[in-house]
């Protein structure tokens, strides 16, 4: 649904009818099946993805050849490899659909054009970017102030329904420990 995006934007800035049309004219809606890749390593990331329905994950393969998830995006979140997008250099990340999803994508050049035509989008993305930064800082704070076990329990209490949506090994990866350790603490809980 195209409206999901512009409705989200309207929560932060005013949009006129013409703005909505302009935005909708440059984005594309994609239905992506579970396990589909939107980005793979060695490719330059050229798009921003807005999750209108479903769930995406961002991950890379670490030295021990395990998947390391660094981000999830669910409804109303943006997903991209901002590093690659900004620098134009090849990514080392995968972006993959965790569930069958609907994604609204916009290319970087189209977004730049939009900024000229709809200046209030600068503000929208400033605010969205700021929130992402705050969340990211909060995450670093948690990494440095809680043990893995504490962080697992904390995450559980904050996002009880999200953890139902994804396999446990993905949450273990996101939280930075092994599935085995996760089983251990879950067993303890009872």
Q: What is the binding site for DNA (CB under 7 A)?
A: 64, 66, 147-149, 167-170, 176-184, 186-187
- Closest listed residue to residue 185, CA positions, set 172, 167, 166: 172
- Answer for which of 3, 37, 89, 133 binds its own copies (CB under 8 A) is 133
Stretch that binds its own copies, among 22-30, 100-108, 137-145, 161-169 (CB under 8 A): 137-145
What is the torsion angle, in degrees rounded to the nearest 10, for the CA atoms of residue 100, residue 103, residue 107 and residue 112?
A: -150
Least distance in Å: CB of 36 to DNA?
Answer: 11
Q: Residues 30, 108, 139, 153: which binds its own copies (CB under 8 A)?
A: 139
Nearer to its own copies by Cβ, of 131 and 184: the residue is 131
Q: What is the DSSP letter of 64?
A: T
Chosen from its own copies, DNA, none, partner binding at 186 (C-beta under 5 to 8 Å by type): DNA
Say how far apart CA 60 and CA 69 lie, in whole Å: 7
| Rg value, the chain, Cα | 18
Dihedral angle, C-alpha 156, 154, 50, 132, nearest 10 °: 180
CB atoms within 10 A of CB 164: 7
Which residues contribute to the site for its own copies (CB under 8 A)?
A: 60, 62-63, 68, 70-71, 82-83, 86, 115, 119, 122-123, 125-126, 129-134, 136-141, 143-145, 176
């Amino acid at each position: 649904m195209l409206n999901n995006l512009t409705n989200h934007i309207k929560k932060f800035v005013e949009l006129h009818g013409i703005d909505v049309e302009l935005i909708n004219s440059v984005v594309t809606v994609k239905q992506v099946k579970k396990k589909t890749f939107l980005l793979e390593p060695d490719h330059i990331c050229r798009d921003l993805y807005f999750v209108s329905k479903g769930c995406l994950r961002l991950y890379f393969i670490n030295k021990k050849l395990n998947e390391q998830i660094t981000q999830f995006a669910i409804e109303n979140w943006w997903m991209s490899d901002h590093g690659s997008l900004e620098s134009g250099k090849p990514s080392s990340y995968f972006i993959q659909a965790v569930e069958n999803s609907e994604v609204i994508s916009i290319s970087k050049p189209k977004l730049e054009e939009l900024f000229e035509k709809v200046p209030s989008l600068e503000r929208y993305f400033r605010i969205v970017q700021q929130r992402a930064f705050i969340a990211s800082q909060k995450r670093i704070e948690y990494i440095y102030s809680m043990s893995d076990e504490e962080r697992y329990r904390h995450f559980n209490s904050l996002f009880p329904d999200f953890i139902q949506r994804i396999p446990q090994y993905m949450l273990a990866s996101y939280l930075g420990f092994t599935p085995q350790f996760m089983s251990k603490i879950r067993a303890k809980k009872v």
